[in-house]
Amino acid sequence: MTFTVNGKGFKRLLNTFLVLAMITTMATSVYAADPVPPTAPTVAAIPDVKLKDLTAKPNVIVIATGGTIAGQVADGDPTNLQNYRAGTYTMEDMVAQLPRKDKIADVSTYQFGNKGSGGYLITELYDLSLAVDQALKTYDGVVVTTGTDTMEDIAYFLDLTVRSEKPVVITGAMRPWDAIGTDAPANLYNAIKLAGSGKTKWFGTVLMLNDVIQAARDVTKSNAHRLDTFETPILGALGYIDQDSISIYRAPGRVSKAGKPTWSTPFDLSKITKADLPMVEIAYAYQEAGGGAIKGFVADGAKGIVTAGTGAGGISAKMSAARTEAIKQGVLFVTTTRTGSGTMYPSSSDGIIAGDSLNAQHARMLLLLSLAFTKDQKTIKDWFATFGAQNVETSATGS
């Protein structure tokens, strides 16, 4: 892997890994993982900001993972909007081609990987999150580029795990870099602008495509092809970017906890190892759905299962029987709705947690991380009600 600093062609081979110090026996946080990690996790080295680069402009690093934004059209034909190779161009080359980036930031790049979003393992997202936090020790903001297919999954994983309050902006594109009418360079440019602006400090991870800024917790991909595919059902976008203007009209609930200990989630990845990340699956409900999916997941070793239920979370009789059996074996369930929006409210049933208004893929990330940090179901229930729900905290409610 190679990286560049400020797009000036300064390259080094990435061959060193920094060891995060003193964490195995120092897991003293109230949210410390149940299992004591046997070895300290490693994090990829991120280029330092050099003194000469400390200009008035913000320092932003783009951490690239691939996807359509780095895609190359097939046969050199720029009209090939659907036929292309995702994850082909390097971020160093792409940033070098961006016009007038000097107006918005000093831009560095770090090539974390170059493949489709769906090809990343959860253990790789663990590395990605640690790399983002490592970068934010020196940079003013981070842009993460990924494919759009599982961008909402990756964005929420980062939202739940990155410790820094500095801006993290995830972006990608629906058309490859070199296609006619591509959205790739504009999305990259605007994401850098947003990360450098500092306007989403304390927001956690935000997603920015098609000029629209959305909260990682709430956003979903709604269309297989359209450029405006990302939507936030019911709640709507946070704001948008019109050339030099960045307008923020609302903030995620966690912003109301800015500066307080409750802003940080319990999911400090430096306190666990990759081996602690359990298998968690999603079972989809439909007319007369069988119990085979749940049984199969359990047989496969799943420690948690999210159900994407009909309406207010309903599942079929066969699914329900399979769930009861699985709960007896210690599998933890989270209820969500397949409708695309709506809140699931807590029930008193053992082994079943309400997913609030998280969609199934978001609830799955929260359940996976929760089970990586504790086996205590009451604690996980509380985490879903607080860090999952992320309601606005006001002094009036005293919450």
Residues in the chain: 399
Q: Is 144 in the site for ligand SIN (CB under 6 A)?
A: no
Q: Which parts of 39-68 interact with ligand SIN (CB under 6 A)? A: 67-68
Instruction: Provide the minimum distance between the beta carbon of 135 and ligand SIN in the complex, in angstroms, as a whole number.
Output: 22
148 annotated as a binding-site residue: yes
Q: Name which of 92 and 183 has its Cβ closer to ligand SIN.
A: 183
In order of 185, 224, 234, 271, the CA distances from 199 in angstroms are 21, 30, 23, 29
Q: Which parts of 169-198 interact with ligand SIN (CB under 6 A)? A: 172, 174
Q: What sign results for the dihedral spanned by CA atoms 97, 99, 103, 104?
A: negative
Q: What whole-number distance in Å separates Cα of residue 88 and Cα of residue 72? A: 6
Q: Is 109 in the site for ligand SIN (CB under 6 A)?
A: no
Instruction: Provide the minimum distance between the beta carbon of 197 and ligand SIN in the complex, in angstroms, as a whole number.
Output: 25
Q: List the catalytic residue out of 4, 16, 55, 68.
A: 68
Query: Binding pattern to ligand SIN, positions 66-95, x when CB under 6 A?
Result: -xx-----------------x---------
Q: What whole-number distance in Å separates Cα of residue 44 and Cα of residue 64? A: 13
55 annotated as a binding-site residue: no
Q: Is 149 in the site for ligand SIN (CB under 6 A)?
A: yes
Query: Binding pattern to ligand SIN, positions 323-352, x when CB under 6 A?
Result: ------------------------------
Which of 113, 147, 167, 196 touches ligand SIN (CB under 6 A)? 147
Q: Is 161 in the site for ligand SIN (CB under 6 A)?
A: no
Q: Do the Cβ atoms of 144 and 132 come closer than 8 Å?
A: yes
Secondary structure of residue 340 in the 3-state scheme: coil
- Concerning whether 68 is annotated as a catalytic residue, the answer is yes
Task: Extract long-range pairs of 251-254: CB within 8 Å, 24+ residues apart.
Answer: 251/203, 252/203, 252/204, 252/215, 252/217, 252/218, 252/390, 253/389, 253/390, 253/391, 253/392, 253/393, 254/202, 254/203, 254/204, 254/390
Instruction: Provide the minimum distance between the beta carbon of 66 and ligand SIN in the complex, in angstroms, as a whole number.
Output: 6
Q: What whole-number distance in Å separates Cα of residue 361 and Cα of residue 353? A: 15
Instruction: Provide the minimum distance between the beta carbon of 79 and ligand SIN in the complex, in angstroms, as a whole number.
Output: 18
Instruction: Provide the minimum distance between the beta carbon of 224 and ligand SIN in the complex, in angstroms, as a whole number.
Output: 9
* Furthest CA-CA distance within the chain: 66
Please give the residue ranges that form the binding site for ligand SIN (CB under 6 A). 67-68, 86, 116-118, 147-149, 172, 174
Residues involved in catalysis: 68
